Structure 1
Amino acid sequence: MKSSVVTSLMGLAATVYGYANPMSCSGVCGNAHDPSLIRRDSDGRYYRFSTGGKIAIHSAPRITGPWTYLRAAIPAGSKINLAGKDDLWAPDVSKFGDTYYLFYSVSTFGSQNSAIGVATSTNLDTWTDHGATGVSSKAGSAYNAIDPAVYYDGSNLVMSFGSFWGDIYSVKMNNPPLTVASGASSTRIAYKPSGTHAQEGAFIAKNGNYHYLFFSVGQCCGFDTSKPAAGQEYKIQVCRSTSATGGFVDKAGVSCTNGGGTTVLESHDWVYGPGGQGVFYDPSLGPVLYYHYVDTRIGYQDAQKQFGINKIDFSSGWPVV
């Protein structure tokens, strides 16, 4: 939400001629790289899952906190026997039927030797790892098999994934979504053809007649040792389509497979490099954009990434925070 005056709305402190700052957050708001947010149906408690520590679980009674660390989601590490199986990245948690599904990445920084795994739970607290989903990559692959997010488009379960190289792809999943559907092939849905192809973290959300593809662009990490040129740090962009499996374009009509992307949120004030985003439909606030970011008042280390939430307005047909 842009504003020409300093105001406050639903806990969001807006800035002069800029993006709204994140909602207040209490408790453990750091250690929030690549967050996934979900609310438990049985008691309305919020859960946050994030990269590292074999997928760190935090929980809170309210979306703003106080957030408390609970445990590692997959304490024994992944069944997938690749480097990174004891770290685990970019969780995505969704509920299909009576079961919660936790999708995660096994990889190491800068490598295409990657795979996407899945674990299940009935309560969000304890998880059973099932290992590989069938989405993997190696040196020379068209994509990097990280950053999964599974989405139900009304007919099919679709996983979006990918990073750099050929950027972002999608593939149809079985129902329940433990593995890729038989005979399904991966389709590219977003690509930055220039530079380092720095695009990842896809997340699809439905609003009205459109499926919105949110993604992160730019340098994500290592800001404390290698800060990029201004504007080259992480930011959040979006394209939309009437299909969840392709045809995404930005607000100017540029195809998302040809560099398209309308910026939703970028660095401003003390917020630096927001990304790793998702959209959550909160029963009280409505749609919110959640993400990680560097709070320049705290520090630039990856372990200091903070959990950010903003209300998001789709009334114009394009998401605005």
Structure 2
Amino acid sequence: MKCRTMKKVLTKSLCMLAVFLLATACGKEDDVSQTNNNEDSKTSYVYLKKYGVEIIKVSIQKEEFVYSLSVFKGGNNTAFEGNVKISAWTEEELTAYNKNKGTSYVSIASDLYSVTPERQTFTKEQKSLNFDVKLIPEKLLKVIGENTKAEYVIPLRLESEDVEVKANRQDLLLYISLEAPMLKFAFYEKTVFVQEESTSFNVGTVLNYKIDGKASGSQWDFTSELVVPENASELVTTYNQSNKTDYELLPSGAYDLTEKVHYNINDTKAETTVVIDRNKMEVKYYLLPLKLSTPSSNVVMCDNGILYCLVSRSYNNPIIAFSAPDPTVIHTDDGYFYLYGTEDTRNMPIYRSKDMVSWEYMGTAFTNETRPIWEGEHSLWAPEIRHFDGRYVLYYSWAKWGDEWNSNVGVAVSDSPTGPFIDKGCVIDAQDMGVQNSIDQFFYEDGGKKYMFWGSFRGIYVTELTDDGLRVKMNADGTPVLKKRICGNYFEATNIYKKGEYYYLFASIGSCCEGAKSSYTTVVGRSKNVLGPYLNKTGGDMLYDKYEVVLKGNSVWAGPGHNSIIQVDDDGVEWLIYHGYKKLEADNGRVVLLDRLHWTDDGWPYVKDLAPSVSSLIPVFR
């Protein structure tokens, strides 16, 4: 028990000692005259009552600030006379102090303060003397406002030619805490997607100001400007090095900073607007560094912090925030892209866009009156749009969930991409072709022949179509001229793309439709023949369920797949349009996403990070 009690006492004593040391780590105040050691009994000396680092709060509300500095006598004999003075440290002395203490203090210029009187004389009777350190806050504001990140001090030293100065009690650093209104950015990084010809974004600011320690609103009606720093190019270089990016400085003609930040009396925050001219930008990533400057009130300081605006002609995923699964896209002579999707919107939704980023709803491919009716009521899934022979040809899956032998491929035609589409009936009948779950068709024309690829988790097959593309091409005996299985049972949602000497077969594996739990994944194989075999990197055949991954889910997105025919922009960049679930908004259904298709050096396609992007640079169309 005694040992345990002693441990408690010792622990408590150590804690009290730690608190004491912490409390005395900065400014110190000692009454050395009360000490009675042998050294003090033999000497007479002078010392500063406060020494070390002393924080002084200088209010901009006052015309003059005065700090009273006390000098005391000490030792056994204090009945002496002598001159004392307060002098400033040299820059070399402050540099040495900073190096020793690990600080970075900056000395206030001597013309910004005064010590009065310059020197004083102790009489035998006097025990202490006072010196006044005087500051003009408004003058101080101008200096500190030029570098608000610096830590300013007035380094002072007690000196005497007549009497000893107590060692370690002769130096005082007055650390200046200026209580002035400080204008700062509300944030120091902002992402700006420029999609309109003239894109505006807000820049928020806050005014930090205290009166007698309490937060206060502005006492002035004033404005401040946004400017690009003179060293903007250097700032961009430093930012790129720190963040491993490759931004360029936004060209000066691409932005307008004429609107100022305006504060009314009592305001604590305010915004201004920056305008970006899209036509003065290329499709690349830019950086626009901004700082606050030139407040119209001479008592307001602007923080030196830099706001980095990350500016680009970019888009956010999803590009269509409504459920439009299994998208198919065509670029038409009128300059528009038209997108069609599975009928989560009844009768098959149609969207239109000039840039594949901003889409407008155009209606549906069918109406209740023109909707296909063969073999009774089904669902319209997985459209595939083409244009040949002067008309738009829309293939569709006429499907019944769970009835795979009664799920087939149909076709409709129209003179316009927005319809009305006139149904032409069945193209591929599951029972006639002997292929269970005959859906997810894909049309491909090669070497003067029209092919139809189709199938869903019961093998992927290919057949040849008639010249008008409306029926399967048959032999005289009524059998198809071509029916070939090219993929195993892992796959659905086939898509063929030719690049160089290879045909690339894109497909989807996994579960398509389980919301945030969907495991849909986009995969690929390639062949030098449109009819296969389609192989992975190591020669594994898709017929035996081998593949390479192009795109899969991540922490944000689930089930990315069933991509449209690949689109190419005016810079030759290939783009993948596909559907997926946003995990936190899975109830919105399978929304439409867009991503750039990259290629490895040995010719394999992939999406960056093998996952849907949140945002990216837009496709280029001139």
TM-score grouping bracket, smaller chain normalisation: 0.7 to 0.9
- In structure 2, relative to structure 1, the CA distance for the partners of 1:93 and 1:10 (3 Å cut) is farther
Structure 1 CA distance for aligned equivalents of residues 523 and 318 of structure 2: 27
Identify unmatched segments of 5+ residues in structure 2. 1-242, 248-281, 286-313, 476-480, 608-622
Structure 2 CA distance for aligned equivalents of residues 251 and 310 of structure 1: 23
Q: 1:250 and 2:536 equivalent?
A: yes
When Rg is computed on C-alpha atoms for both structures, the one with the higher figure is 2
In terms of fraction of residues, the more helix-rich structure is 2
Q: 1:190 and 2:487 equivalent?
A: yes
Q: 1:159 and 2:452 equivalent?
A: yes
Give the equivalent residue in structure 1 for 2:322. Answer: 30
Q: 1:117 and 2:410 equivalent?
A: yes
Structure 2 CA distance for aligned equivalents of residues 176 and 102 of structure 1: 13
Contact 2:521 2:551 in 1 (8 A): yes
Q: CA deviation at 1:5?
A: 5.7
Partner of 1:151: helix, strand, or coil? strand
- In structure 2, relative to structure 1, the CA distance for the partners of 1:114 and 1:190 (3 Å cut) is same
Q: TM-score, normalised by structure 2?
A: 0.44
Give the equivalent residue in structure 2 for 1:278. Answer: 564
C-alpha deviations, 1:90-135, integer Å up to 9, x for none? 00112224222110001112221111111112320112211111x1
Give the equivalent residue in structure 2 for 1:132. Answer: 426
Q: Residue type matched to 2:544 in 1? A: N
Q: Residue type matched to 1:215 in 2? A: A
Q: 1:240 and 2:533 equivalent?
A: no
Q: Residue type matched to 2:564 in 1? A: G
Q: CA deviation at 1:29?
A: 3.0
Partner of 1:300: helix, strand, or coil? helix
Select which of 69, 77, 81 maps to 2:371.
77
C-alpha deviations, 1:13-56, integer Å up to 9, x for none? xxxxxxxxx95257743222000011111x21111100011211
Contact 1:82 1:106 in 2 (8 A): no
Partner of 1:289: helix, strand, or coil? strand
Partner of 1:48: helix, strand, or coil? strand
- In structure 2, relative to structure 1, the CA distance for the partners of 1:110 and 1:5 (3 Å cut) is farther
Partner of 2:533: helix, strand, or coil? coil
Give the equivalent residue in structure 2 for 1:150. Answer: 443
Structure 2 CA distance for aligned equivalents of residues 6 and 97 of structure 1: 48
Structure 2 CA distance for aligned equivalents of residues 219 and 122 of structure 1: 36
| Structure 1 ranges of 4+ moved more than 6 A | 6-9
Q: CA deviation at 1:140?
A: 11
**Deviates most, 23-32 or 50-59:** 23-32
Select which of 338, 341, 356 maps to 1:50.
341
Structure 2 CA distance for aligned equivalents of residues 163 and 29 of structure 1: 26
Q: Residue type matched to 1:91 in 2? A: P
Q: CA deviation at 1:64?
A: 0.2
C-alpha deviations, 1:227-263, integer Å up to 9, x for none? 36xxxx0000001111112211112210010011100
Q: Superposition pairs for residues 249-268 of structure 1, below 5 Å?
A: 249-268=535-554
Select which of 563, 583, 594 maps to 1:309.
594
Q: Residue type matched to 1:107 in 2? A: A
Give the equivalent residue in structure 2 for 1:171. Answer: 463
Select which of 275, 289, 294 maps to 2:581.
294
Q: TM-score, normalised by structure 1?
A: 0.82
Contact 2:515 2:558 in 1 (8 A): no
Give the equivalent residue in structure 1 for 2:393. Answer: 101
Contact 1:28 1:69 in 2 (8 A): no
Contact 2:318 2:593 in 1 (8 A): no
Between the aligned residues of both structures, percent identity stands at 27
Structure 2 CA distance for aligned equivalents of residues 136 and 289 of structure 1: 30
**Deviates most, 148-157 or 278-287:** 278-287
Partner of 1:257: helix, strand, or coil? helix
Q: Residue type matched to 1:78 in 2? A: P
Partner of 1:279: helix, strand, or coil? coil
Structure 2 CA distance for aligned equivalents of residues 11 and 146 of structure 1: 40
Identify unmatched segments of 5+ residues in structure 1. 13-21
- In structure 2, relative to structure 1, the CA distance for the partners of 1:23 and 1:147 (3 Å cut) is farther
Structure 2 CA distance for aligned equivalents of residues 27 and 215 of structure 1: 21
- In structure 2, relative to structure 1, the CA distance for the partners of 1:119 and 1:296 (3 Å cut) is same
Give the equivalent residue in structure 1 for 2:357. Answer: 64
Give the equivalent residue in structure 2 for 1:16. Answer: none
- Count of aligned positions: 290
Q: Superposition pairs for residues 208-227 of structure 1, below 5 Å?
A: 208-223=500-515, 227=517
Give the equivalent residue in structure 1 for 2:167. Answer: none
Q: CA deviation at 1:269?
A: 3.6
Partner of 1:204: helix, strand, or coil? strand
Structure 2 CA distance for aligned equivalents of residues 218 and 10 of structure 1: 35
- In structure 2, relative to structure 1, the CA distance for the partners of 1:74 and 1:310 (3 Å cut) is same
Structure 2 CA distance for aligned equivalents of residues 176 and 62 of structure 1: 31
